[in-house]
Structure 1
C-alpha cells in the first residue's frame, strides 16, 4: 500500500501542478480539499476525478454521496483504488 500512496502523491502533484510541494510533504491522511490541507478547490476536484478515471479506471459520480469521502486524502484514494483492483 505504501507504494500506491507514493504513486498517488506524485500523481496528485503532477495532475494539480503543485510545483512547490514534494511527495514527502503530503501525509497519507492530509486532507486534499481544505485550507489546512493541500487547499484544492472544486475545479481541482473535477480535474483530479478525470485524471483518476484516465489513469486508474476509477469513476466517481458527483451524485455519489461517497465520492467526497473517497477524495478526502491519499489514504482514502488508495483504499478506493485497491478495492477496485480486487
Structure 2
C-alpha cells in the first residue's frame, strides 16, 4: 500500500463520514461502489468534488475512464499520480 493510498482511505472516510470504518478496513483493490465498500452515486459526486479540491485534479464525468478511476483506492491513487505528472 502506498502513502497516497493510505491518505486516500483516510480522506474517503472523513469526506463521506464513514465513522464506522478504519483505514485498515479498506482494501486498496476493493471495489468502492455497490459491492465492496458499498458507496453510491451521491457518494461518488461528493467524493469527486472533494478530490478535485484537495488534489487539484480534473475529473471529466463524461469520460469513459472515470468509472475505472473510481473503481478502487488503488485506481484513484494511480489517477491522481498521473494527473500530477508522476509515473
TM-score range, shorter chain: over 0.9
Give runs of ≥4 in structure 1 deviating > 6 Å.
none
Counterpart of 2:9 in structure 1 is 9
Query: What is the Cα deviation at residue 49 of structure 1?
Result: 0.4
Q: Where does the alignment leave 5 or more consecutive residues of structure 2 unmatched?
A: none
Q: Where does the alignment leave 5 or more consecutive residues of structure 1 unmatched?
A: none
- RMSD after superposition: 1.0
TM-score normalised by structure 2 residue count: 0.93
Cα distance in structure 2, aligned partners of 1:49 and 1:59: 9
Query: What is the Cα deviation at residue 29 of structure 1?
Result: 0.4
Map 1:1-86; keep pairs closer than 5 Å: 2-35=2-35, 37-86=36-85
Cα distance in structure 1, aligned partners of 2:58 and 2:83: 10
TM-score normalised by structure 1 residue count: 0.94
**C-alpha contact (below 8 Å) 1:49/1:59 kept by paired residues:** no
